[in-house]
Structure 1
Amino acid sequence: MTKYLISFPSSAMVLPAGDLPAVAEAAHTVMQEAKDAGVWVFGGGIDENIRPVMVDGAGTVIEGTYPQTRQIEGGYAVLELPSREAALEWAAKMAAACRCAQEVRAFMDDPAS
């Protein structure tokens, strides 16, 4: 089985503020469905109020992040699935719930994880 990252940036979720509770409920329904199906590994949204930091090998903490990852925000789910087709099906469910397209990426196989 392969682990898939299904995600979207915050900017993709454009909806009236009053719709947010219904979207959250729909998203939680899909998450519960994934848990009930035994494919849920992890998920959540990035807390955009907490600034990222980088930590080097000596433990030094530096404010900021890599330039190419400054915009990592939004919602993420990791599912363990038998196929890419299954990942696309789950992404479609999440897209419908969140009212925005989802990006799908596969993690490389690592027998130690």
Structure 2
Amino acid sequence: MAHQVTDADFAAQVLASDKPVLVDFWAEWCGPCKAMDPILEQVSADLAGKVSIVKLDVDSNPSTVTQYGVRAMPTLIVFKNGEPVDMKVGAGQSRVQLVKWLEGHAA
């Protein structure tokens, strides 16, 4: 299961990480977000040790959502060295597409 982050621990868990972090901005009421869960679980296993995958509930963490301009769910943002470096919006990615995308940031 992907680790949950909040406004309170976002800086420590994501921005201070020594490896790339994929943040899944999601909501409980979002069907496409729930559809992405098993794919993200597989990707997390595929890339264990190379990329961290965390989830941030947009309804409970408005500060981080506002800071990064997230307006649609799911939004996936890759952070590297404390900075957002890439983003995908929507649930259209397959496991293979996500692994390939993230491997490019883990290199």
Q: TM-score range by the shorter chain?
A: 0.3 to 0.5
Greater RCO (CA < 8 Å, at least 6 residues apart): 1
Give the TM-score normalised by the residue count of structure 1: 0.34
Give the TM-score normalised by the residue count of structure 2: 0.35
